[in-house]
Amino acid sequence: MVAIVNFTVFNDEKSKDTVIDLIQLVDVKTEQCFSDKLNFVTVDLTKFDKKESELKTLQDCWLYTLKHAETLKERPEEIKDELFINLYDSILLTKQLTQEEIETYNKSVMKLKKLSLFTDYARMEGKMEGIEIGRKEGMEIALAQVAINAAGAGMSAENISNVTGLSVEQIYKILSNKE
């Protein structure tokens, strides 16, 4: 779990300047880590106080952006990464939208999500149908090959029919197409 908060979570001396804390569950009796897979990360934005001119790393840029997204007026010139330029452009653009435009945008996003769900479902159905068709065609090819091999070994059409489940007419048709 990642929690990005704008309030102080840990007030102890060790954590007073730590913006990002990693928390793991520990068994109180054994003092053993409960699981290295289940972690909690808190990002305390109140402890991040770098100015625009101090932004050096991607982490700095992310933290600055998260902390100041609501009050942004323009993109900080220190941020040159294309991802952040696009992010800031998007943030600043959405701040210019009216409430009606925001609602229209949200509705269009929901429509796209629904369309994506329908498309994913249709793909899955198509894939399953394709698998079924392929299975049937593969079975037909396999049975035809068994009929050809059995006839080549001297089995009668009636015996091949009993073994494969194909009709005698189907067997004669397969054998006549083989030649």
Average pLDDT, the chain: 87
Verdict on whether the full-model pTM lies above 0.75: no
* Mean pLDDT, range 80-108, rounded to an integer: 82
Check residue 85 and give its pLDDT.
Answer: 78
Residue 133's pLDDT band, with cuts at 50, 70 and 90, is: very high
Q: DSSP assignment of the chain, as one string?
A: -EEEESS-S--SGGGTT-SEEEEE-B-TTT--BS-SS-EEEEEEGGG----GGG--SHHHHHHHHHHHGGG-SS--TT---HHHHHHHHHHHHHHT--HHHHHHHHHHHHHHHHHHHHHHHHHHHHHHHHHHHHHHHHHHHHHHHHHHHHHHTT--HHHHHHHH---HHHHHHHHHHH-
Cα–Cα distance for residue pair 17/21, rounded to 1 Å: 10
Q: Are 47 and 20 in contact (CB under 8 A)?
A: no
Cα–Cα distance for residue pair 56/135, rounded to 1 Å: 58
Write the CA distances from 79 to 69, 92, 125, integer angstroms. Answer: 14, 15, 46
Q: Which of 57-66, 120-129, 143-152 has the lowest mean pLDDT?
A: 57-66
Which span out of 72-86, 91-105, 140-154 was modeled with the highest average pLDDT?
Answer: 140-154
Pairing type for strands 39-44 and 2-5 reads: parallel
Neighbour count for residue 152 (Cβ, 10 Å): 10
Neighbour count for residue 67 (Cβ, 10 Å): 19
pLDDT at 134 over 90: yes
Per-residue pLDDT tens over the stretch 57-74: 888 888 988 888 788 777
Region class of 22: left (phi > 0), else alpha (psi between -120 and 50), else beta? beta
* Mean pLDDT, range 27-47, rounded to an integer: 87
pLDDT at 24 over 90: no
* Mean pLDDT, range 103-108, rounded to an integer: 89
